[in-house]
Amino acid sequence: MSTIKNPDALFRKVQKATHYCGGELNSVIKNPDEVQIRYAFAFPDTYEVGMSHLGMKILYHVLNQREDTYCERVFAPWLDMEEEMKKQDVPLFTNETLTPVKEFDFLGITLQYEMCYSNILNMLSLAKIPLLAKDRTEDDPFVNGGGPCAYNPEPLADFFDFFTMGEGEEVIGELMDAFKEWKKEGGTREDYLRKIARIEGIYVPSLYDVEYNEDGTIKSMTPNCPEAPKKVRKRIISDLDAVSYPDKFIVPFSDIVHDRSNIEVFRGCIRGCRFCQAGMIYRPVREKSADTLLKDACSLIESTGYEEMGLSSLSTSDYTQLEALTDKLLEVTEKEKVSLSLPSLRVDNFSLDLMERVQKVRKSGLTFAPEAGSQRMRDVINKNVSEEDLIKSATLAFEGGWNGVKLYFMIGLPYEECSDIAGIADLAHKVVDCFYESEKTNKRRGVNVTLSVASFVPKPHTPFQWARQDSMDELYEKQLFLKNEIRSRKVKYNYHQNDISVLEGVFARGDRKLSAVLLRAHELGCKLDGWNECFDLEKWKKAFSDCGIDMAFYTRERDYDEVLPWDFVDIGVSRDFMKNENEKAKQAATTPNCREKCSGCGAASLCKTKKGCVCFEQ
């Protein structure tokens, strides 16, 4: 193995060299000659985005705890770095030891959102690794994908050697053990892939054949070897108190998106919103104990010196020991001058007391997510919050000294009517009114209500996975309609680019045929699509038309009896549950949350221990 030659020649030429040169506090330094496995962990977006991601920190920690393995990081280079790498003929390399990624045993790529797919191809190409898995040889690493988008990996099937479904802490170790065995046995690449296909949670796309019907839908997907299971079941960590959590976070030199330490309060969400993929794929809810969290927090404060600590989960106010945790945490954080940040507050159990204790000094913005404007629509999506809840929480916040709130909504939801969209504006006006109607608010400063409106994207493994997605024109019309409904100057309206939403929807529910489109889009120069200055819809449109593929095929409504590209992935939640939820959505009927009443989704069967799991609470 060798490191790249003359790195200074590159670093001198780019704006943010510390994004590539390593050496940050708590980055892991090992002697590469003393390990048996080298694992390059890639985040297919820029450093400031990737370094903010918790999953990468966890797996970096878990892999580097093994003496036989050295895990290093790699990110998508920014435009200036890519240009220099091409000019100087330097292949993609890791931050820790500046070693070309091609020389590693594994290249693990985390799949957080669909719009990073073009970056994956670009990074493979910069690494000089063949883009197509079938073209790789003994000289190339195994390319492994994981994360939320792996739950429908089919659009990426041609580019990956295998995918990992679900939480990675345990399965990644099994993959490393299997690698050492395989090395000892001296087999071929295919031998390794067949070997790991037997591990629960592993999907090797080349071991499956897909047949299509005449209309382009899937006829069948069948394993072509005995090692490959018909269904791939996701992995979970049953006992979050027992699994190792990083005691150190790498502290970047430069500012990043979320520059703070984080403790992970629980996984999963009790709520069951029908549009939400995270709420389904991370089932069942498993909590960490307050004691473990306090221990995690203390280690991170000590090892990083971070000024801020985040509590992360899908809905932090649903944590059963929240009060005990914040009591103990605040004792520590106040002493160490660390501020706590609490994202994901719900409008129905918002505690002003908690917010005031957490944000002692600065009263910055508060965010609530009613998601839909009318009660009918909130029942359709099973959001289970009422207008009364929102007005009550907003009033509390305003009376507590806040004078701005941000409200998250979606448009383009299934079964949506004009009145539902108008309801978004109505609700915003009512929030403005409640500020002026209360006698205890500070009127001198006025009030700001910011509407952040995203376009709904149907996602695999949700009750809305069969739904039709609105076209760009329809979404545009709805955005305009909403804009005209807003009459108060206190309401600010932000909306999401709808062309990106449609493309995201196509890849979210795509099949293997889309690999060709990704390849073509890469040839046309698509990359860094999450960045406005880089995204170019025209190039994407050309890639689709060059491949003779119609985006509308992927945004259409699907029948219950159609074989969906992701049907082979078993997330532990039954298809009957999904179907039933979709039917209830049509009737605007709600489903109670997991803590109120179990709806028998099936996820309980994933747990090996009852401790901390919502399915077994009394």
Residue pair 368/347 in contact (Cβ under 8 Å)? The answer is yes
Considering beta carbons, is residue 361 or 548 the nearer one to other proteins?
Answer: 361
Work out how close the CB of 31 gets to other proteins at its nearest, in angstroms, rounded to a whole number.
15
Query: Are 508 and 457 within 8 A, CB to CB?
Result: yes
Place of tokens 């509390």: 396
Shortest Å distance, C-beta 579 to other proteins: 51
CB of 295 to other proteins, least distance (A): 18
Looking at beta carbons only, is 34 or 255 nearer to other proteins? 255
Question: Which strands, in side-by-side order, build the sheet including 366-371?
Answer: 366-371, 404-411, 448-455, 491-495
Q: State the burial class of residue 244 (Cβ atoms within 10 Å of its Cβ: 0-12, 13-18, 19+).
A: exposed
103 contacts 123 by C-beta, under 8 angstroms: no
Nearer residue to other proteins within complex by CB, 48 or 416 = 48
CB nearer other proteins, residue 222 or residue 254: 254
Among 527, 532, 543, residue whose Cα is nearest residue 123: 527
Query: C-beta of 22: minimal distance to other proteins in Å?
Result: 9
Tokens of 436: 């002026």
Q: Which is nearer to other proteins, 80 or 583 (CB)?
A: 80
In the bound complex, what is the minimum distance in angstroms from residue 600's beta carbon to other proteins?
49
Beta bridge partners of 142: 106
Which secondary structure element, helix H or strand E, spans residue 118, and what is its range?
helix 117-127
Measured between alpha carbons, how far is 135 from 333 in angstroms, rounded to an integer? 53
- Minimum distance of other proteins from residue 88's CB (angstroms): 12
- Residue (68 or 302) nearer to other proteins, CB: 302
Q: Using CB under 8 A as the criterion, which residues of the chain lie in contact with other proteins when the complex forms?
A: 8-9, 11-12, 17-18, 21, 23-25, 251, 253-255, 302-307, 336-337, 361-362
Q: Which is nearer to other proteins, 200 or 336 (CB)?
A: 336
Nearer to other proteins, 144 or 304 (CB): 304
Q: Tell me if 486 sits within 8 A of 373, measured CB to CB.
A: no
| Residue among 110, 31, 114 at smallest CA distance from 75 | 110
Owner of token pair 């997907």: 221
Q: In what order do the strands lie in the sheet with 261-264?
A: 261-264, 308-312, 339-341
CB of 246 to other proteins, least distance (A): 16
Closest-CA residue to 238 (of 580, 607, 617): 607
**Least CB distance to other proteins at residue 294 (A):** 19
User: Of 281 and 300, which CB lies nearer to other proteins in the complex structure?
Assistant: 300
In the complex, what is the shortest distance from the CB of residue 38 to other proteins, in angstroms, rounded to a whole number?
21
Contact 432, 450 (CB under 8 A): no
Contact (Cβ atoms closer than 8 angstroms) between residue 372 and residue 380: yes
